[in-house]
Structure 1
């Protein structure tokens, strides 16, 4: 009875059951799934602990963000929160797809045929590509808010934000499914495939890695330009003619310091979580990796999941308005009076916002909120 698979797929699927690690005479060719299952038992336990801890936490955090934004009409109208929703959706996918596929392959040594494996890998690729792409949209949103404050609401409408998100996810899905659609290692006699991912062609890996590096570079440039302008504002507005900071200058300096700390933390976390993984991928494209490098990559790849776990804390739960909606939602669930509680909260907050406008200006949430606060404070002064 035939298996219905091509000869090269049969070799890749079953060679780990009957042959040693390398099934050809060329040591540079890796046609055995055991070439990728390199973790020892202590390493499996360590990585399994990270996945089983970070995976559920990431899922619950991002689901919570999506529920809060979906339940608030006010948040759904703001482009900034639409981009945060896209980020939370991508990180929710990452918590599911990455954890399941990574644990199945590295911890339980579950070998699949090419199409099934590439379908699982496509889910992971889609999640992380969508996550980094959503981070880029968020960075561009903040850049426009800072450099085009007066025209921000005209340049970035809700419709344009939705179109940008739809475009991002269409491109992300297409890129993620390219290996499944045929961009893969065709036969076992081809030049070596990736030593990090079975069935994955080096050229596709180079393409995806290069794309992520470009996106991360654009995010870095956007935040660097914001920090540069913030420093200029601090120098220009901090010390007036009499040598003492004005109320307006003090408010702006507090805002700039807050933004600088936030953006510096964002860039640091991006670098720590993504540069090790992308660097090893580029090395894999240029040379044949050893087992020790494959083990290092397995550990570094969990940092991408950690990044998805941290994103809600950086981009969503730091927002005062979203935290308020979250507390109101909890209160509504507890009291079983959803409509009444929301009305009471909104009425109370509307009066409190006018009373504490100057205080809130010094601790902006999203950049769009900081721009609105800044304009309101200028009008008050």
Structure 2
């Protein structure tokens, strides 16, 4: 009765961990330090690599099309995921028990928002590819205004989904409904979250399979008529393969986590969901590491643009170093000149006397 009527907003997270019978923090000190060091390196790569993807789309005019704008937005969601992983790594273990309810909502909200942004971006890209490929065009006719509205809609949905538990769909006032993986999240919310994402996975896979078979059918028809058309139409196929690779990596890395969340929501006591927690986090980080590699590997133009940006950064760094060196040399040279002038003046005075 008290669990239904009394809310515990002011209690630390240790209270909710104990309520969910989570007695171990899973990480000892050595494991936590190792995870933080390796994770920080991976997250730095995620931040830098995705920032380079966004910069490549902005600076190269050949990427000023709806598909690449949406791809840059997908890189922005991975950038947010890198920030969320850093925040999570340094607020986990024993520190988790000392967090306030608001801090825990913020920590999990960052992760949920980044996942929602990635998933919604992939869905929007799938629809954009479907519209363009069904007319067998490389790029769709979406205007920049519509693409901007789509991007704003993606982030609006993502922020809302990340904030849903803190807006009331939690178990702070109903402790018997709390889950184990997220001790202040309701099991019903985990069921909704995992099922909705898995359904979206199936929808996107169906869309891309439909696109792929359509393109392959059109390619066979064109091959019988002219070889020049085939060469001209290979770019849509490359873009489809790029996105399908990204989607495949996303599904492989996130499906196990969503299944475990679903089992936790269904209160599967035999499943021992806590044992898989650290490996699921590792898979999530691995997905954000893989995405920028896939973009640059599958797209030669993207990789060449990134290399040019890296050269500009290096040349800019060298220029700054050389300018600093010149600034340091100038006072020395001016001192030598003034010393030489003083010696000449003194010599003339001696001759006069």
Report the CA distance shift for 1:230/1:13 in structure 2 as closer, same or farther (over 3 A). closer
Whether the 8 Å CA contact 1:105–1:111 is kept in 2: the answer is: no
Question: 3-state SS of the aligned residue for 1:8?
Answer: coil
* Partner Cα separation in structure 2 for residue 257 and residue 67 of structure 1: 24
**Whole-Å separation in 2 of the counterparts to 1:49 and 1:151:** 42
Partner of 2:278: 298
Residues 36 and 208 (structure 1 numbering): CA distance in 2 closer, same or farther, change over 3 Å? farther
Q: Deviations over 1:85-105 (max 9, x none)?
A: 211111111011123214421
RMSD: 3.2
**Counterpart among 63, 70, 89 of residue 51 in structure 2:** 63
Does 2:183 match 1:203? no
Structure 2: distance between partners of 1:55 and 1:109: 20
Question: Which structure 2 residue ranges, 5 or more long, are not aligned?
Answer: 1-5, 317-353
User: Would you say the 8 A contact 1:36–1:197 is kept in 2?
Assistant: no
Residue 192 of structure 1: aligned partner: 177
Task: Note if contact 1:91-1:308 (Cα within 8 Å) is conserved in structure 2.
Answer: yes
Describe the SS at the equivalent of 2:218. Answer: helix
Shift of 1:176: 0.9
CA distance in 1, matches of 2:96, 2:283: 21
Deviation at residue 284 of structure 1 after TM alignment: 0.7
Partner of 1:218: 203
Determine whether 1:233 maps to 2:213. Answer: no
Whole-Å separation in 2 of the counterparts to 1:137 and 1:210:
19
- Tell me how many residue pairs correspond in the alignment: 311
Superposition deviation, residue 322 in structure 1: 2.6
Larger Rg: 2
Q: Structure 2: how far apart are the matches of 1:153 and 1:13?
A: 48
Aligned residue number for residue 53 of structure 1: 41
The alpha-carbon distance between structure 1 residues 181 and 167, as it changes in their structure 2 partners (threshold 3 A), is same
For the residues of structure 2 that align with 1:141 and 1:230, how far apart are their CA atoms?
Answer: 15
Moved more, 58-67 or 225-234: 225-234
1:248-281 CA distance string (max 9 Å, x none): 4763796687567546534432232011001001
- Superposed CA deviations along residues 59-86 of structure 1, whole A, max 9, x for unmatched, are 11111112222334553x3111211121
Query: 2:167 is paired with a residue of what secondary structure?
Result: coil
Counterparts of 1:256 and 1:239, CA distance in 2: 19
Q: CA deviation at 1:319?
A: 2.4
Structure 1, gaps ≥5 residues long:
1-5, 23-28, 241-245, 337-381
> What's the TM-score, normalizing by structure 2?
0.75
CA contact (8 A) 1:50 1:302 kept: no
CA distance in 2, matches of 1:212, 1:184: 19
TM-score, length basis structure 1: 0.70
Superposed counterparts of 1:1-381, under 5 Å: 8-9=8-9, 12-15=12-15, 22=18, 29-30=19-20, 34-35=22-23, 37-39=25-27, 44=32, 47-48=35-36, 50-75=38-63, 77-106=64-93, 108-109=95-96, 111-149=98-136, 153-154=140-141, 156-187=142-173, 190-239=175-224, 246-248=226-228, 251=231, 262=242, 265-289=245-269, 292-315=272-295, 318-335=298-315
Q: Secondary structure at the match of 1:197?
A: coil
Retained in 2: the 8 A contact 1:238–1:253? no
C-alpha distance after superposition, 1:120-156 (max 9, x if no partner): 21111111111121122222222222112359543x2
